Chains A and B, each alone.
Chain A
């Protein structure tokens, strides 16, 4: 625009500010986005409510004391026994073995990708790792049953060999399943640590390993732990692998070579069974589901608390 044109515009009419008009389109978009956010919250609330009613009814029939102290779980037999402990120990045992795989390997993979790998290596490895997260869990289940269990039976050197269905095979494979998620989240957290901190640590004579483990990992701790918490939550909630590889026998034991049934495996098995709606057997599903929900919730809260306490905050 030339100077004359500009002056023509400014002199033709006084400069006026227009009054605001409501922007309906904007309001509509805001509303739609809010609905998107609410869907997941509403679902969670819905699940809790759905769990709550049959659970309360269940505890009308079976006392809390019986549920948490009896050592046998056979709710569908007669006479029934409602001790949830075998299912809880099974879940904990298998989760323990999963963590034994995923904590060291997940952290190691994250440190490698973030601190050691050349950018090109990283740009290839990380997507591959993330593809692993997309393998259906049923595939992992058969991998555990048909590949890992025979190997374990061959190389087992303490006590009795693992049974065909066993906790350790399911646990180790579950660890491999959650590894990509954990490694990827931990790597994101470590990559976000400012380069300044690394430079400062190197300038003090730190080796690459010292800089990684003493400066980068502590600084990224909250993100790393968030990754592990997500991993553990998935492990506790994982159903297919344990259903296929760990067997369906409630078993109050921490022995990894034995078959055991986790809470999720029970829910799946009982859910596809023929329990009449409203029966005690039917309500056990919800009672176990609530127990699982509370366990996961408590674990998440404890880890958030721990992270708040130990994390290192950088600007």
Chain B
């Protein structure tokens, strides 16, 4: 969060390199060697986690959308949720910042532990949850206000004090949007391109000072160049934030994520309802190169999808 300016240069340098190459940093290569067996367990003990899901089942009007999900989301890593349509990835993601509270019929069973607190404990304020766990949506959804007011909305409703100009500038710099936006802060956000709008939405989420960013297919409405910029940005943000991303784009999951959860859909006995479950959760390299389950392999190699 500090000294943005030098980082900006780093980022620019990084972006000059082939975006495919930036997806694989040396750290990730090291991790590949460490995956599996005892080494995995030792490393699990070392790295902190932001979320620990224990047998999470989400139901809409009693019908389970995802069932029995258990895995850990690690700090300062990008965790990708992949799988076919309707497998409950987005449902699970919305569970992580209690956005499902807004759906009257949704119920969550099991436990979602955020650091060491149960997100769904009775005394947890969902508003506070969403301050710390930001979210970026599938379609860029800036408010029909100025760029400045878009960023300032979160800090204002949360009653954050401090120099608003500074908060806005810092958020825009973190989202690599400052150079493009600094001369038009007062103009309507809808005047920006789709990719810029999505980065504005990321900046907006960063402005409230979260430590996790949830992204629900953030690039599905964007062209490849804008997508590349968002991916670069995610890799940069990973230094300070933990990111959970739902994506339909498997190359994207492979390029940016550290861990990947593969979801699948199962029909219940009377073949009426579709319920998602996690088939495999592991290092991204392992999921894409040496998956443990044949369903994962079929999906990541494009045999089914």
Range of interface residues on chain A? 20 to 34
Give A299-315 interface residues, CB cut-off 8 Å to B: 312-315
Contacts of A206 in B (CB 8 A): 127, 153-154, 157
Per-residue CB proximity of B82-121 to A under 8 Å, as 1/0?
Answer: 0000000000000001010010100000000000000000
Q: Are A202 and B99 in contact (CB under 8 A)?
A: yes
Measured CB to CB, the residues of A under 8 A from B are 118, 194, 196-197, 199-207, 210, 214-215, 218-219, 312-315
In the assembled complex, B42 has its CB within 8 A of some CB on chain A: no
Q: Are A204 and B157 in contact (CB under 8 A)?
A: yes
Interface residues contributed by chain B, number (CB under 8 Å): 28
Give Cα A314 to B140, complex, Å: 12
Contacts of A215 in B (CB 8 A): 143, 153
Give Cα A51 to B57, complex, Å: 71
Give Cα A214 to B145, complex, Å: 10
Give Cα A196 to B102, complex, Å: 13
Q: Are B144 and A205 in contact (CB under 8 A)?
A: no
Which of B5-13, B129-137, B280-288, B295-303 lies at the interface?
B129-137
In the assembled complex, B181 has its CB within 8 A of some CB on chain A: no
In the assembled complex, B141 has its CB within 8 A of some CB on chain A: yes
The smallest beta-carbon distance between A139 and chain B, in angstroms, is 39
In the assembled complex, B208 has its CB within 8 A of some CB on chain A: yes
Give Cα A214 to B97, complex, Å: 21
Given A205-B154, A315-B190, A199 and B139 touching (CB < 8 A)?
no
Given A203-B97, A203-B99, A205-B208, A314 and B130 touching (CB < 8 A)?
no
Selected contact of B141 from candidates A197, A205, A210, A214, CB within 8 Å: A197
Q: Closest chain A residue to B129 by CB distance? A: A205
For A202, A210, A219, the residue with the greatest tally of chain B CB atoms inside 10 Å of its CB is A202
Selected contact of B137 from candidates A200, A210, A314, CB within 8 Å: A200
Per-residue CB proximity of B128-170 to A under 8 Å, as 1/0?
Answer: 1011001101010111110000000110111000000000000
- With contacts A202-B130, A313-B188 known, what are 18 further pairs, Cβ within 8 A? A118-B104, A196-B139, A197-B141, A199-B102, A199-B137, A203-B134, A203-B135, A204-B130, A204-B153, A206-B153, A207-B127, A207-B157, A214-B153, A218-B145, A312-B143, A312-B144, A313-B144, A314-B144
Contacts of A118 in B (CB 8 A): 104
The smallest beta-carbon distance between B124 and chain A, in angstroms, is 13
Contacts of A200 in B (CB 8 A): 137, 141-143, 201, 204
Q: Closest chain B residue to A211 by CB distance? A: B157
Closest 5 CB pairs of A and B: A312-B144, A204-B154, A203-B135, A196-B141, A205-B131
The smallest beta-carbon distance between B190 and chain A, in angstroms, is 6
Give 20 pairs: A residue, B residue, CB < 8 Å, sorted on A.
Answer: A196-B137, A196-B141, A199-B137, A199-B141, A200-B137, A200-B141, A200-B142, A203-B130, A203-B134, A203-B137, A204-B130, A204-B131, A204-B153, A205-B157, A206-B154, A207-B157, A214-B157, A312-B145, A313-B190, A315-B190
Give Cα A25 to B217, complex, Å: 51
Contacts of B135 in A (CB 8 A): 203
Contacts of A312 in B (CB 8 A): 143-145, 188
Q: Are A219 and B144 in contact (CB under 8 A)?
A: yes
Give Cα A118 to B104, complex, Å: 9
Contacts of A205 in B (CB 8 A): 127-128, 130-131, 154, 157-158, 208
Contacts of B131 in A (CB 8 A): 204-205
The smallest beta-carbon distance between A66 and chain B, in angstroms, is 49
Q: Are A314 and B157 in contact (CB under 8 A)?
A: no
Q: Are A204 and B188 in contact (CB under 8 A)?
A: no
Q: Closest chain A residue to B131 by CB distance? A: A205
Q: Closest chain B residue to A207 by CB distance? A: B127
The smallest beta-carbon distance between B134 and chain A, in angstroms, is 7
Contacts of B137 in A (CB 8 A): 196, 199-200, 203
Selected contact of B143 from candidates A201, A210, A315, CB within 8 Å: A201
Give Cα A29 to B164, complex, Å: 59
In the assembled complex, B58 has its CB within 8 A of some CB on chain A: no
Contacts of B144 in A (CB 8 A): 197, 218-219, 312-314
The smallest beta-carbon distance between B12 and chain A, in angstroms, is 28
The smallest beta-carbon distance between A214 and chain B, in angstroms, is 7
Give Cα A218 to B188, complex, Å: 13
The smallest beta-carbon distance between A218 and chain B, in angstroms, is 7
The smallest beta-carbon distance between B185 and chain A, in angstroms, is 16
Contacts of B158 in A (CB 8 A): 204-205
Q: Are B134 and A204 in contact (CB under 8 A)?
A: yes
The smallest beta-carbon distance between B160 and chain A, in angstroms, is 10
In the assembled complex, B205 has its CB within 8 A of some CB on chain A: yes
Give Cα A142 to B160, complex, Å: 53
The smallest beta-carbon distance between A75 and chain B, in angstroms, is 51
The smallest beta-carbon distance between B208 and chain A, in angstroms, is 6
Give Cα A4 to B49, complex, Å: 68
The smallest beta-carbon distance between B167 and chain A, in angstroms, is 13
